[in-house]
């Protein structure tokens, strides 16, 4: 089952992204694209002639996708949660390095904002992992999924992750790293053709990764975990369609003053209780 989920991860992520685009259109009183539109976009991009800035930049885009896939596979195989978070951070870091490797102002500005964002977001993921450890005594995903539901004992940690989700998925109000109206796609701007395909598909894997983390709060109850993941999906969707993008400095301030504080309080309560 783990092998099957890992192999099908890009397809599952594409379907999830298609559902998100469809629901977003409905919220905006539009018909919207078909659910399979992300795959149509993927094939269309693959058919275009790639404009390669240099081979290193293109290679970083491919490895960015591979690292995101590895991060997700660690979760699906029940591995160490810290290792999965490390590969997730590595995936984002590779994209940042790619952004800095070109002379485009938009790319470098997007890379800088992405770097600032992970400085605020990744500690919350680490604190989430620590929260699971305090509840189950292990960082192993396989053991977390056999433990009692942790949402009741780690509700503050769940709220912290919920606040961070738009930032992890580059959605409003924390989409300062892309900011299409301002920096024209940011760090992705110099990718094209097949190489943009890899960056585009990596977003699908990121969606699966973060919602799998939410699913872990259900513990041994897959019904509770699934319900939490669906709830988080709609919360992110509502936030993305009802809020305006904040400045990157405000994003960091809000994440540290809300999500980080909640995650830290959750750890303290876990140790005390």
Q: Does the pLDDT at position 38 exceed 90?
A: yes
Torsion of the alpha carbons at 35, 41, 47 and 50, rounded to the nearest 10: -160
pTM, whole model, 2 decimals? 0.93
**Would you give the distance in Å from CA 227 to the centre of its chain?**
19
Could you give the percent of the chain with pLDDT greater than 70? Answer: 97
Q: Does the pLDDT at position 139 exceed 90?
A: yes
Stretch among 161-165, 178-182, 252-256 having the lowest mean pLDDT: 178-182
pLDDT for residue 54: 81
**Would you give the distance in Å from CA 48 to the centre of its chain?**
27
Give residue 194's domain range: 50-272
- Rounded CA separation 80/206 (Å): 18
**Selection from 239, 243, 244, 245 nearest residue 20 by Cα:** 239
Please indicate, yes or no, if residue 20 is contained in any of the structural domains: no
Q: Does the pLDDT at position 182 exceed 80?
A: no
Please indicate, yes or no, if residue 137 is contained in any of the structural domains: yes
Please indicate, yes or no, if residue 5 is contained in any of the structural domains: no
Please indicate, yes or no, if residue 4 is contained in any of the structural domains: no
Instruction: Count how many domains the chain has.
Output: 1
- Rounded CA separation 87/84 (Å): 5
Please indicate, yes or no, if residue 208 is contained in any of the structural domains: yes
- Rounded CA separation 173/252 (Å): 11
Q: Does the pLDDT at position 40 exceed 80?
A: yes
Please indicate, yes or no, if residue 44 is contained in any of the structural domains: no
Please indicate, yes or no, if residue 3 is contained in any of the structural domains: no
Output the average pLDDT for the chain.
91
Q: What is the pLDDT of residues 187-212, one digit of tens each?
A: 888 888 889 899 999 999 999 999 99
Q: How confident is the model at residue 226 (pLDDT cuts 50, 70, 90)?
A: very high
Most confident of 48-52, 102-106, 241-245, 256-260: 256-260
Element at 33 (helix H, strand E): none
Q: What is the mean pLDDT of residues 51-73?
A: 91
pLDDT for residue 219: 92
Please indicate, yes or no, if residue 23 is contained in any of the structural domains: no
């Amino acid at each position: 089952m783990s092998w099957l989920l890992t192999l099908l991860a890009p397809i599952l992520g594409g379907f999830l992204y298609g559902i998100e685009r469809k629901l977003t259109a409905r919220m905006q009183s539009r018909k919207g694209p078909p659910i399979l539109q992300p795959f149509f976009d993927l094939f269309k991009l693959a058919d275009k002639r790639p404009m390669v800035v240099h081979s290193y930049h293109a290679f970083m885009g491919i490895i960015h996708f591979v690292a995101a896939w590895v991060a997700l596979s660690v979760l699906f195989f029940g591995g160490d949660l810290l290792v999965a978070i490390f590969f997730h951070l590595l995936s984002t870091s590779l994209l940042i390095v790619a952004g800095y490797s070109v002379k485009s102002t938009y790319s470098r500005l997007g890379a800088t904002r992405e770097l600032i964002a992970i400085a605020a977001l990744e500690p919350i993921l680490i604190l989430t992992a620590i929260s699971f450890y305090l509840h189950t005594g292990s960082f192993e995903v396989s053991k977390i999924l056999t433990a009692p539901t942790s949402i009741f004992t780690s509700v503050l940690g769940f709220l912290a992750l919920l606040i961070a989700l738009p930032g992890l998925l580059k959605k409003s109000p924390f989409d300062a790293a892309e900011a299409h109206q301002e920096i024209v796609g940011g760090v992705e701007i110099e990718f094209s053709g097949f190489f943009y395909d890899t960056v585009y598909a990596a977003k699908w894997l990121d969606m699966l990764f973060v919602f799998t983390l939410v699913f872990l709060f259900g513990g041994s109850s897959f019904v509770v975990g699934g319900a939490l993941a669906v709830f988080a999906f709609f919360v992110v969707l509502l936030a993305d369609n009802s809020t305006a993008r904040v400045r990157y400095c405000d994003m960091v301030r809000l994440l540290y003053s809300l999500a980080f504080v909640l995650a830290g309080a959750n750890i303290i309560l876990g140790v005390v209780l």
